[in-house]
C-alpha cells in the first residue's frame, strides 16, 4: 500500500517532533538554572553555558516562527475568497447609489471605474490570505483620494435604507454628563506663531483665543464641532437634557464666546481681523451660525446637494452611462450678516482645514468678503448628512464610510478639490519666515 502523505499518522509525527523540541528546551533551561544557582565561590561556568543560552534563544525563535507560520497556514486554509468578492460587489452597488463624489471623481479627476473594478477583482481573485484581500480593498478606497471616503473599524451591519415616509423620531433619553455624551477637551491654542509677533497681546482666552498686534486682531477657531469643547459643555449642561438639547446649548455658549472675543478685539483697537482656521478639520452645521458674526453683508452660495439617484447606477462599473447621483436642482441659500465684525477680514488656512471649515472659507471667498491666506485646504468637502453612507465589510469587521452630500463652489468646483488661498504663505518654513510672509500679505493691496 503506498504511503499517504495526508494520513493521520502525519499529525502524530508532527506532535512527536514538538514534544521532542519541548524536552530539548526544558533540558536547556534546567541546565541554565543550575548554572545560576552555583555557589559564588565556585569556578566560573564552563563555556558550554554560552552555547546552551544560544540554543535556548534559537529554539525560542523556532517556536515563534512556527506559531507565525501556523497562523499564516490557518489564514490560508480558512480564507474565503468568495465572501470577499461578494462584499466588494455589494460595496460597488452601495457606492453607485450613495457616494456623493463618485461622478466627480470619474468625470473630473479621471478615475477609471472599469479599470479599478477589474484590477481589484483580479487582486481578490489572486489573494490567498485575508491580508492580501484587505490590501486590495484598501488600494481601491485610496484610489479616490477623498478624506471622507475611508475604511474604519466596523460598527455592525450596514444601516437599512430609510423608509419612504419616516415616522417621527422618539425622544432621546437624557444624558448623564458631557463625557458620557462624547464631549472631549481638544486643544484650542494658536498653531501659527502669532504670540511671537511684535507687540502681540492676548485679550481673550479659550475656547477662542484672541489677541492684537498693532491694528491687527487675531482669533483662533480650532474646531467647528461642539463636541470638541468639553469645558463649554460643562458650563451649558443641566440635568434632564437629551443629546440635541445639550448640543444646542453648547452651540449657544460658543456663539456667546465668539461674540465676546470679537468684542475684546474691537475694544483693544483692532481695525483688521484674521480668523485662524489652520488645523480645523471641520465639525457640524454650527458653522452656518458662526459665519454671519464676521460680516455685515448678505452672503449667497449654492446649497449642498444630497445623493438622490433615480436609476440603477451599478452599470457604471462596466463603463455604461448612468443617471446622475443627484436628481435635484441646486438652490441658492443665503446668510444674513450680523455684523459683530465690520472691518477687513482675513482667513488663514492650511492642509488641515477641511469639511465644515471649508464651508466657512467658501462663504467668504465666493462672495469676495474676505482675503484667504495660507495654503490650499484639505479637500474634504461636504461629508456626512445624518451619518452619511456606511457599508459594513462583514469578512474583516471594517466599515467603508462615504459622503452622501457635496458642496459646489460659485465656479462649479466641488469642494473636494480644496480651496486655493488668495495669497500663499510658506507655512512649512521657520517661524520667522512665516511671520515675515504674513506681514507682507497683510500689507498687500486688497483687490
- CATH code for the domain of 428: 3.90.226.10
Same domain, 139 and 271: no
Closest CA to 84 of 313, 398, 315, 314: 398
**Do the Cβ atoms of 405 and 385 come closer than 8 Å?**
yes
| The predicted structure's pLDDT at residue 33 | 45
pTM recorded for the entire structure: 0.82
61 in any annotated domain? no
Same domain, 430 and 372: yes
Residues above pLDDT 70, as percent of the chain: 83
| The predicted structure's pLDDT at residue 60 | 75
What is the mean pLDDT of the segment spanning 132-157? 91
| The predicted structure's pLDDT at residue 59 | 76
DSSP, collapsed to helix, strand or coil, labels residue 398 as: strand
Q: Which residue has the higher pLDDT, 317 or 65?
A: 317
| The predicted structure's pLDDT at residue 19 | 46
Closest CA to 336 of 275, 279, 293, 306: 293
pLDDT at 50 over 80: no
Give pLDDT tens digits for 169-180.
567 899 999 999
Same domain, 350 and 423: yes
The Cα–Cα gap between 291 and 340 comes to: 10
Between 49-53, 84-88, 152-156, 327-331, the lowest mean confidence (pLDDT) is in: 49-53
pLDDT range class, residue 94, cuts 50, 70, 90 = very high
What is the mean pLDDT of the segment spanning 253-271? 97
Residues above pLDDT 90, as percent of the chain: 72
Q: Phi and psi at residue 336, in whole multiples of 5°?
A: -90, 120
The Cα–Cα gap between 275 and 349 comes to: 9
Give pLDDT tens digits for 202-259.
999 999 999 999 999 999 999 999 999 999 999 999 999 999 999 999 999 999 999 9
Give pLDDT tens digits for 317-344.
999 999 999 988 889 999 999 999 999 9
Q: Which residue has the higher pLDDT, 43 or 408?
A: 408
Between 92-96, 107-111, 293-297, 385-389, the lowest mean confidence (pLDDT) is in: 385-389
| The predicted structure's pLDDT at residue 13 | 41
62 in any annotated domain? no
pLDDT at 7 over 60: no
pLDDT range class, residue 35, cuts 50, 70, 90 = very low
Q: Name the domain boundary from 148, 181, 208.
A: 148
Q: Name the domain boundary from 148, 183, 203.
A: 148
Measured torsion, CA atoms of residues 425, 427, 430, 431, in degrees rounded to the nearest 10: 80
What is the mean pLDDT of the segment spanning 271-300? 97
Using CA atoms, how far residue 15 sits from 18, 21, 28, in Å, is 5, 10, 20
| The predicted structure's pLDDT at residue 11 | 36
Count of the separate structural domains present in the chain = 2
Closest CA to 282 of 187, 375, 382, 206: 382
355 in any annotated domain? yes
What is the mean pLDDT of the segment spanning 103-123? 97
pLDDT range class, residue 77, cuts 50, 70, 90 = confident
321 in any annotated domain? no
Same domain, 284 and 355: yes
pLDDT at 165 over 90: no
Same domain, 125 and 228: no
Q: Name the domain boundary from 115, 148, 181.
A: 148
| The predicted structure's pLDDT at residue 42 | 46
Same domain, 291 and 435: yes
**Do the Cβ atoms of 276 and 200 come closer than 8 Å?**
no
Sheet with 150-153: strands ordered across: 150-153, 398-402, 389-393
| The predicted structure's pLDDT at residue 15 | 37
| The predicted structure's pLDDT at residue 329 | 84
What is the mean pLDDT of the segment spanning 342-355? 97
Same domain, 131 and 204: no
Same domain, 428 and 375: yes
Task: Please provide the average confidence, as pLDDT, over all residues in the chain.
Answer: 87
Q: Which residue has the higher pLDDT, 105 or 20?
A: 105
Same domain, 358 and 223: yes
Q: Which helix (H) or strand (E) holds 345?
A: strand 345-349
Same domain, 259 and 360: yes
What is the mean pLDDT of the segment spanning 408-422? 96
Same domain, 282 and 375: yes
| The predicted structure's pLDDT at residue 85 | 94
pLDDT at 30 over 80: no
Residues of the domain holding 91: 71-148
156 in any annotated domain? no
> For cell 469645558, what's the residue?
231
Same domain, 120 and 261: no
Amino acid at each position: 500500500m503506498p504511503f499517504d502523505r495526508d494520513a493521520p499518522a502525519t499529525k502524530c509525527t508532527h506532535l512527536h517532533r514538538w514534544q521532542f523540541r519541548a524536552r530539548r528546551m526544558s533540558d536547556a533551561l534546567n541546565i541554565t538554572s543550575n548554572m545560576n544557582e552555583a555557589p559564588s565561590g565556585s569556578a566560573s561556568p564552563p563555556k558550554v553555558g554560552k552555547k546552551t543560552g544560544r540554543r535556548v534563544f534559537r529554539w525560542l525563535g523556532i517556536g515563534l516562527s512556527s506559531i507565525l507560520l501556523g497562523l499564516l497556514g490557518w489564514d490560508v486554509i480558512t480564507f474565503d475568497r468568495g465572501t470577499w468578492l461578494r462584499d466588494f460587489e455589494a460595496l460597488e452597488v452601495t457606492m453607485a447609489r450613495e457616494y456623493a463624489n463618485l461622478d466627480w471623481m470619474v468625470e473630473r479627476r479621471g478615475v477609471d471605474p472599469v479599470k479599478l473594478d477589474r484590477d481589484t477583482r483580479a487582486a481578490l481573485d489572486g489573494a490567498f490570505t485575508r491580508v492580501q484581500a484587505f490590501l486590495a480593498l484598501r488600494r481601491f478606497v485610496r484610489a479616490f483620494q477623498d478624506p471622507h471616503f475611508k475604511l474604519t473599524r466596523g460598527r455592525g451591519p450596514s444601516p437599512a435604507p430609510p423608509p419612504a415616509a419616516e415616522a417621527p423620531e422618539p425622544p432621546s433619553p437624557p444624558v448623564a454628563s458631557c463625557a458620557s455624551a462624547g464631549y472631549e477637551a481638544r486643544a484650542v491654542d494658536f498653531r501659527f506663531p502669532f504670540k511671537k509677533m511684535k507687540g502681540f497681546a492676548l485679550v481673550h482666552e479659550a475656547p477662542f483665543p484672541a489677541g492684537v498686534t498693532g491694528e491687527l486682531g487675531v482669533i483662533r477657531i480650532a474646531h467647528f464641532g461642539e463636541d470638541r469643547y468639553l469645558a463649554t459643555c460643562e458650563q451649558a449642561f443641566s440635568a434632564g437634557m437629551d443629546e440635541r438639547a445639550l448640543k444646542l446649548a453648547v452651540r449657544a455658549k460658543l456663539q456667546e464666546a465668539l461674540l465676546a472675543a470679537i468684542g475684546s478685539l474691537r475694544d483693544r483697537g483692532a481695525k483688521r481681523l484674521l480668523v485662524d482656521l489652520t488645523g480645523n478639520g471641520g465639525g457640524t452645521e454650527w458653522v452656518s451660525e458662526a459665519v454671519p458674526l464676521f460680516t455685515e453683508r448678505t452672503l449667497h452660495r449654492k446649497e449642498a446637494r444630497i445623493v438622490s439617484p433615480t436609476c440603477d447606477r451599478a452599470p457604471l462599473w462596466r463603463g455604461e452611462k448612468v443617471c446622475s447621483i443627484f436628481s435635484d436642482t441646486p438652490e441658492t441659500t443665503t446668510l444674513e450678516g450680523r455684523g459683530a465684525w465690520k472691518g477687513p477680514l482675513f482667513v488663514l488656512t492650511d492642509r488641515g482645514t477641511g469639511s465644515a471649515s471649508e464651508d466657512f472659507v467658501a462663504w467668504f471667498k465666493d462672495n469676495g468678503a474676505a482675503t484667504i491666506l495660507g495654503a490650499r485646504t484639505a479637500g474634504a468637502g461636504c461629508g456626512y448628512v445624518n451619518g452619511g453612507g456606511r457599508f459594513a465589510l462583514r469578512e474583516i469587521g471594517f466599515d467603508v464610510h462615504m459622503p452622501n452630500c457635496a458642496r459646489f463652489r460659485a465656479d462649479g468646483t466641488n469642494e473636494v478639490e480644496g480651496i486655493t488661498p488668495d495669497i500663499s504663505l510658506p507655512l512649512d518654513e521657520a517661524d520667522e519666515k512665516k511671520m515675515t510672509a504674513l506681514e507682507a500679505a497683510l500689507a498687500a493691496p486688497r483687490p
